Each structure stands twice: as C-alpha cells, then as structure tokens.
Amino acid sequence: MKRFVLLDTAEIPDNGGALCLFEYGDDFVIKLEGGKGGQLMNSRMHGSEDALAELPCKRIASRPQPRVLIGGLGMGFTLAAALKTLGENAEVLVAELVPGVIEWNRGALGEKAGYPLRDTRTKVINDDVAAVLSAEPAGFDAIMLDIDNGPEGLTQQANGWLYSAAGLNACARALRPKGVLAVWSASADRQFSARLGKAGFKAEEVQVFAHGNKGTRHTIWIAERRGG
C-alpha cells in the first residue's frame, strides 16, 4: 500500500511556516506543514500547470527574443511547458520564494518535469516574484503566476498584494506592449476578472482539467495588456 514518506522540510522566509516534500509511491507531493491548504502540488497532476505556460507562451513565441517570468517554481511543470513552447532565443526567469524548493528541483524531484532548471534558457532567482516584476518595468513578454491557491483562499497572506489592484497594476507595468499575464487559480472568481479589466487587461477566464480530460478543473486567466 502507498504511504506518504516525508523526505524534507523547507522553511518559508518571513512566514514562520514550512513546506514539506513527501514521496508517495512513484510520485512526489508538496504540502504546507501542519496540513493548512491540503496538497499544494502532486507530481501526478499537472495539466493546468502546463496550460498556465502553454496558453500565454504560444501568443508571444514568435517575438524575436521572448523574455518571460514565472512565479513560483513548485515542481517545475510550468517552467518545463514554457521551455517546450518557446524557441531557442527565449529567456525564462523563475522567481521562487523558498530556497529548499529550488534544491528539491535540482535533486530527485526534478526528474518529474525533466530537470528544466538545467536548460540554458532558464534563470532561477530566489526571491518574491512581486519584487522581481516590480524591479523590471517593461521587462517581460509574459508573466505566469502560480504562487498560491489563487486570488481567494490564500495560504500566505503576503501573497494577497499580487492579486490586488496595486499588484495587477505592477504586473501591467512589468509587461512589454501587448504582453500577456497568466494567473492560475484553484477556483473561478468573477471579482478578479473585473479587477484585471480595471488594471488595463483584456482578460479571458478559462477552465482547464487538473489531469487528463475529466474530473477537477482549475481556472486560468489569460490577460493581454491593452494599448501600445
């Protein structure tokens, strides 16, 4: 019978909490210490994490030197899908808050997504993605955010800013003309769609299967920056 085997624990900076990496049969599972938020990630299910990169990257892949930002790394599936969708001239920055998560991806966990950190187009930064995007006006053709459960049901209150009007305005400033913001969420949220519109985005909300073509669906917003 399969059982959860704790492999490692990684502290979340300035939070007091920690992430736990478990082996579960042939798969890996990441949970918040203490159980809050249930399973954050399971290596068996990554359909919506892949789509989070495929949908925006397809739109900007033909630009001369596409530069994209992903926050956070998790199990590396969004990163792997971005690398697969973009060409050789692309640069993919990944901002990951928890140093331990980066180490896990360099080790056995990395095999699940095909070790995308080893790709020469990847640059990983151990920082809050909010700080990274705020520091680079007009720096990116696409920004992909999967840092929490979505605009609602946050596991880390500090992440709330990125989903607020101020955070979305910062995302708009960090994008190049006609740049695309993609946001992952466990559930739909009409208020968030309206907030994207107010921040200058033309937004579309799509439902994507978590795994295969039936069962649980997640929400992804694909939002294009309006104007030049």
Ligand X SMILES: C[S@@+](CC[C@H](N)C(=O)[O-])C[C@H]1O[C@@H](n2cnc3c(N)ncnc32)[C@H](O)[C@@H]1O
Q: Tell me the C-alpha to C-alpha distance, in Å, between residue 128 and each of 23, 45, 59, 114.
A: 27, 25, 26, 24
CA distance 21 to 111: 15
**Contacts of residue 203, Cβ cutoff 8 Å, sequence gap at least 6:** 193, 196, 197, 221, 222, 223, 224
Nearer Cβ to ligand X (175/183):
183
CA distance 55 to 220: 9
142 scored as a contact of ligand X (CB under 6 A): no
Q: Which stretch binds ligand X (CB under 6 A): 54-62, 126-134, 168-176, 193-201?
A: 126-134
The label of the residue with tokens 């998560």 reads: 101
Nearer Cβ to ligand X (195/218):
218
32 scored as a contact of ligand X (CB under 6 A): no
Q: Which stretch binds ligand X (CB under 6 A): 71-79, 163-171, 187-195, 220-228?
A: 71-79
Nearer Cβ to ligand X (14/65):
14
159 scored as a contact of ligand X (CB under 6 A): yes
Q: Which stretch binds ligand X (CB under 6 A): 72-80, 165-173, 203-211, 216-224?
A: 72-80
Which string of b and e fits 12-43 if b means at least 16 CB within 10 Å?
beeeeebbbbbbeeeebbbbbeeeebeebbbb
| Shortest distance (Å) from residue 129 CB to ligand X | 4
Task: Tell which one of 7, 18, 40, 61 touches ligand X (CB under 6 A).
Answer: 40
- If we measure between CA atoms, which residue out of 227, 223, 166 comes closest to residue 52? 223
| Shortest distance (Å) from residue 113 CB to ligand X | 7
Nearer Cβ to ligand X (95/223):
95
CA distance 153 to 147: 12
Nearer Cβ to ligand X (164/194):
164
Are 52 and 94 contacting, i.e. CB atoms less than 8 angstroms apart? no
Binding to ligand X (CB under 6 A): which residues in 73-102?
73-78, 95-98, 101
3-state secondary structure of 73: coil
Task: Tell which one of 31, 32, 49, 225 touches ligand X (CB under 6 A).
Answer: 49
**Contacting positions for ligand X (CB under 6 A):** 40-41, 46, 49, 71-78, 95-98, 101, 128-130, 146-147, 156, 159
